[in-house]
């Protein structure tokens, strides 16, 4: 099989998939969970419970706060202790529902059997409704509500469904493990979304540094009776799993600036999302669990884990279960080392999109002292959007918003390739990221004038 890849830029960080052989374990229940109302892209959810309410696992506790928003379910059974602001992992307050865990009772109607249900009984509308009611959001990082993505706007049709199994971020192995252990479920999830999108072909893209996953997924596709699903091998290159790069790699198309993937006829869903869709549609199970990797370069492999956790489990509880913060860890990150967020508050809770607790040593993660740009052009070479980060950096420093707009700063996908590759240690992305917000400001002001 030939390897597919995107055409512009990219970097090759060491993939460091240290925890790839750690089978998924079920994380024990904590005593208290904190369920954030703001764990998806879009408007925060509105709590439906009040303090003192008894809730069951899988019960709806919050409804969408807007069109782009999602239902939130209780991950445990117990009593609602409080509803109010609590610090998220950046230390900023967000509304959380605190539930004291009592036993583990689930709402009725969920199929807990391990039987694989191949037969997709629901029709298109029912699938979308079920995905929405089960609170499924994209688990690749952006946590965009899945049901919205499954309903292309009028006049646009999905020509290809891409299941993102690239997992191009170093260290992370949660998608890899589910592709090994839940291959059939993921393929069925893909088939369900295929049906919801009107039967377009489906490509499952996996990077070539995961040959076992490629084999497992190919076997699953071959053994299941669906048509138009195939596995594509992608080259190992970051950001292969970026939505725009994946569309470029798989379909050979590029999404125009400012447009959505659907404008190029593509719908991209993460492998974890496909699993969540399967569980929602075939098993009637809402999105209250997810798989997360505990890994890092200062953690012995024996202490690394892939955990099936209840969404809302405090990060500090997971750290404790995994044996505490290891010696030599200088930074704790939620997500991958390229796009993940540094955790400033370890008491914060896990959310639907949590994919890892990553410990990095000081030597590997400490930023370099910034020195002068030597015009080597590595940032421009690495940028998968073909931008010129050195130029954007200069424009940001000069405060030239019009210049930034002309230099296509809004195309930036914040993948971090520029900062990663800069030999002078210039914090390019740090500076470019806020500039995007400022440029949005002038764009809005201009539109308001018109």
Give the CA dihedral 189, 10, 236, 253, nearest 10 degrees. Answer: 50
Question: What would the two tokens of residue 17 be?
Answer: 């998939």
**Spatial distance between the Cα atoms of 413 and 254, rounded to a whole number of angstroms:** 14
Q: Say whether residue 378 binds another protein (CB under 8 A).
A: yes
Task: Give dist(CA 81, CA 346) in Å, integer.
Answer: 21
Task: Decide: is 341 part of the binding site for another protein (CB under 8 A).
Answer: yes
Select from 322, 326, 302 the least CA-distant residue to 313.
322
In 323-394 the beta strands, taken as DSSP E runs, fall at: 329-334, 341-342, 356-361
Q: Which of 47, 64, 152, 170 binds another protein (CB under 8 A)?
A: 170
The pair of structure tokens assigned to 410 is 């809004």
Select from 95, 380, 410, 443 the one that contacts another protein (CB under 8 A): 380
Among 255, 287, 311, 357, binds another protein (CB under 8 A): 255
Burial annotation 290-302 (CB, 10 A radius, 16+ → b, else e)? bbbbbbbbbbeee
Quick note: the x/- pattern for another protein over 258-287, rule CB under 8 A, is -x----------------------------
Among residues 383, 392, 395, 409, the one that binds another protein under rule CB under 8 A: 383
Residue 35 near residue 26, CB atoms below 8 Å: no
Determine which residue in the list 95, 133, 401, 408 makes contact with another protein, applying CB under 8 A: 408
26 or 398, CB closer to another protein?
398
Q: Which 3-62 residues touch another protein, going by CB under 8 A?
A: 8-9, 11, 13
Is 145:42 a contact under the CB 8 Å cutoff? yes
> Of 156, 366, 444, 446, which one interacts with another protein (CB under 8 A)?
366
Count Cβ atoms within 10 A of the Cβ of residue 120 and give its class: 0-12 exposed, 13-18 middle, 19 or more buried. middle
442 contacts another protein (rule: CB under 8 A) = no
Of 362, 440, 442, 444, which one interacts with another protein (CB under 8 A)? 362
Length of the chain: 450
By CB under 8 A, residue 374 contacts another protein: yes
CA dihedral sign of residues 124, 130, 135, 136: negative
Cβ nearer to another protein, comparing 196 with 333: 333
What is the closest distance, in whole angstroms, from the C-beta atom of residue 41 to another protein in the complex? 17
> Taking CB under 8 A as the rule, does residue 143 contact another protein?
no
Per CB under 8 A, the segment of 85-93, 178-186, 193-201, 310-318 that binds another protein is 85-93
**What is the nearest approach in angstroms of another protein to the Cβ of residue 268?**
15
| Residue 380 dihedral angles phi and psi, to the nearest 5° | -70, -35
Residue 25 CA neighbour count, 13 Å, CB half: 16
252 touches another protein by CB under 8 A: no
Element (H, E) at 442: helix 428-449
397 binds another protein (CB under 8 A): no
Q: Smallest distance, Å, CB 343 to another protein?
A: 7
Distance CA 55, CA 75 (A): 9
Closest CB to another protein among residues 141, 286:
141
**Contact pick of 48, 342, 401, 443 for another protein (by CB under 8 A):** 342
Q: Which stretch binds another protein (CB under 8 A): 45-53, 68-76, 124-132, 430-438?
A: 430-438
Report in angstroms how near the CB of residue 95 gets to another protein at its nearest.
Answer: 15
Among 21, 53, 181, 411, binds another protein (CB under 8 A): 411
Please list every residue from 284 through 303 that binds another protein, using CB under 8 A.
none
Q: Which residue has the tokens 């090759």?
A: 12
Task: Give the residue, chosen from 123, 371, 406, 446, that forms a contact with another protein under the rule CB under 8 A.
Answer: 371
Site string for another protein, 206-245 (x = CB under 8 A): --------------------------------------x-
Taking CB under 8 A as the criterion, which residues in 62-81 touch another protein?
none
To 10 degrees, what angle do helices 428-449 and 389-398 make?
70
CB neighbours of 59 closer than 8 A, spacing ≥ 6? 73, 74, 107
Task: State the distance between the two ends of the chain, measured CA to CA, in whole angstroms.
Answer: 52
- By CB under 8 A, residue 406 contacts another protein: no
Answer whether 136's CB lies under 8 Å from 143's CB.
no
Query: Of the candidates 182, 340, 356, 404, which one interacts with another protein according to CB under 8 A?
Result: 340
Tell whether residue 156 is a contact of another protein (CB under 8 A).
no
Residue 182 contacts residue 254 (beta carbons within 8 Å) = no
- The correct pick among 54, 425, 440, 446 for binding another protein (CB under 8 A) is 425
Q: Which of 51, 330, 406, 442 is close enough to bind another protein by CB under 8 A?
A: 330
């Amino acid at each position: 099989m030939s390897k597919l890849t995107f055409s512009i830029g990219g970097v090759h960080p060491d993939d460091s998939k240290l925890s790839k052989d750690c089978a998924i374990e079920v994380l024990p229940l904590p005593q208290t969970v904190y369920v954030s109302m703001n764990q998806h892209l879009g408007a925060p959810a509105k709590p439906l419970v009040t303090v003192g309410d008894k809730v069951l696992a899988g019960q709806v506790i919050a409804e969408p706060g807007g069109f782009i928003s999602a239902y939130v379910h209780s991950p445990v059974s117990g009593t609602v202790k409080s509803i109010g602001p609590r610090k998220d992992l950046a230390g900023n307050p967000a509304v959380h529902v605190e539930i004291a865990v009592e036993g583990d009772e689930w709402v009725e109607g969920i199929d807990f059997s391990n039987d694989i249900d191949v037969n997709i009984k629901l029709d298109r509308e029912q699938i979308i409704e079920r995905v929405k009611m089960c609170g499924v959001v994209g688990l690749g990082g952006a946590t965009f509500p899945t049901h919205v993505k499954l309903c292309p706007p009028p006049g646009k049709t999905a020509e290809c469904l891409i299941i993102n199994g690239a997992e191009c971020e170093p260290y992370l192995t949660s998608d890899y493990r589910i592709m090994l252990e839940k291959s059939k479920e993921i393929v069925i999830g893909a088939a369900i979304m295929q049906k919801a999108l009107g039967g377009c072909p489906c490509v499952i893209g996996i990077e070539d540094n995961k040959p076992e996953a490629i084999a497992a997924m190919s076997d699953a596709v071959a053994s299941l009776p669906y048509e138009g699903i195939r596995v594509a091998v992608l080259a190992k290159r970051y950001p292969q799993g970026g939505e725009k790069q994946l569309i470029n790699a798989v379909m050979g198309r590029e999404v125009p600036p400012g447009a959505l993937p659907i404008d190029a006829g593509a719908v991209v869903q993460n492998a974890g999302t496909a699993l969540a869709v399967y569980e929602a549609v075939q098993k009637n199970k809402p999105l209250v669990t997810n798989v997360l990797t505990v890994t890092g370069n200062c953690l012995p492999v024996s202490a690394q884990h892939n955990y099936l956790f209840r969404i809302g489990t405090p990060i500090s509880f997971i750290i404790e279960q995994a044996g505490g913060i290891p010696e030599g860890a200088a930074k704790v990150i939620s997500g991958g080392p390229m796009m993940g967020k540094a955790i400033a508050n370890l008491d914060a809770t896990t959310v639907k999109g949590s994919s890892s607790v990553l410990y990095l040593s000081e030597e590997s993660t400490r930023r370099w002292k910034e020195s002068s740009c030597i015009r080597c052009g590595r940032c421009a070479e690495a940028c998968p959007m073909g931008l010129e980060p050195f130029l954007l950096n200069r424009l940001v420093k000069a405060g030239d918003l019009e210049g930034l707009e002309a230099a296509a700063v809004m195309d930036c996908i914040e993948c971090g390739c520029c900062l990663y590759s800069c030999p002078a240690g210039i914090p390019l992305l740090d500076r470019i990221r806020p500039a995007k917000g400022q440029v949005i400001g002038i764009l809005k002001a201009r539109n308001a004038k018109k």
